Amino acid sequence: MNRPPIPAELRRAVLVEAGHRCAIPRCNNTDIDIHHIIPWSQCKKHEYQNLIALCPLCHRRVHKNEIDRKSLRQYKKLLVSEFSFSDSLSFQSPPIEIKRKLSHSDLSQTKVGFDFEFPDFKDPAARIVSRNIELWGNELLVEYLKGLEVLRKNPMPPEPIIVWLRGRYEVVRRDSYVISLRYTIERFSNYAAHRGIETRVQNFIINPFQPLTILELIESKDSLKQLAELARSELLSSNERKRDHDLVIRGTMPKYENFMLFNFHEYALEFTFERYQIGCGAEGISRIYLHYHMLNAIVKPDVLDILQQHDGFSESMFTREK
């Protein structure tokens, strides 16, 4: 079995958790590897709670059994608890209302620009979420700047280059247990006649902190098949519109990539299907809500238990619609 790469969301979260330094106390080396506490050969999966940032030297010490697994787990446990105290609250990005922004503009080119907003959560437990999203925004900015450099060297490159990017978010749920955001990313390339729009999501459990992608949410591949059947049933039985059966089946095949866009509400899991995924372009974006009681055999039990808890401070769109 080939070892798949660690998903970007998990790698980013592990690096933010450790402050982009080795997790071993007082090491402070910034040359970082991502280590599986329980070896990959045994677990065969990437999970946030099993990943820790180590420098190459400490990584070798672990493999020589000079640092045991119990110690690694203790070091990882300390990282999040220390985050709120070590965070100086001084982001690199200037504040805009209750948001912060990463931006770049080139006054010599009117159709060039980067504008990415992200939330500035003040409470200590949620600040690691803000840091994760800021780092994601920086990754997009680096990608954008690399494209501009290519254009400066060759005004007519063979591949399209993103010359304009705008990121806006909506807080779908925020409480003591979960933070769930939905992003709209608008892009415009040098060869495009129209802007491209895509949905991206950011989901986090607060305590214990864990970023959640579809791989961490779904119990197994068999559970993914159940989810696909449930989603199809909801889409085809909807009274909102008459959907093309074959297109719905095609867009809800039991593949992880078909269910990557999800958000948490107080009482339901919301899935977003992009334009053209389950219908023609004119139908636009489609969304379905699956109540948590429908997901007992689909979502991992420990995650589902957390999702069903709430403390009255949620900003859930679903509850407002109710």
pLDDT digits (tens, 9 = 90+) for 167-215: 999 999 999 899 999 999 999 998 888 889 999 999 999 988 899 999 9
Which homologous superfamily is 95-211 in? Fervidobacterium nodosum Rt17-B1 like (3.30.565.40)
The CA distance from 144 to 161, in Å, is: 8
pLDDT band at 92 (very low <50, low <70, confident <90, very high): low
pLDDT above 80: residue 156: yes
> How far are the Cα atoms of 166, 188, 270 from residue 267, in angstroms, in the given order?
31, 36, 10
Class of CATH domain 214-321 = alpha beta
Backbone angles phi, psi at 25, to 5 degrees: -55, 135
The total number of residues written for the chain in this structure: 322
Q: What is the pLDDT of residues 32-83, one digit of tens each?
A: 999 999 999 898 889 898 999 999 999 999 999 999 999 999 998 888 666 6
Q: Give me the pLDDT at residue 317, please.
A: 38
CA separation for the pair 250, 263 (Å, rounded): 22
Confidence of residue 116 (pLDDT cuts 50, 70, 90): very high
Question: Would you give the distance in Å from CA 42 to the centre of its chain?
Answer: 26
Query: pTM to 2 decimals?
Result: 0.80
Domain residue spans of the chain: 8-86, 95-211, 214-321
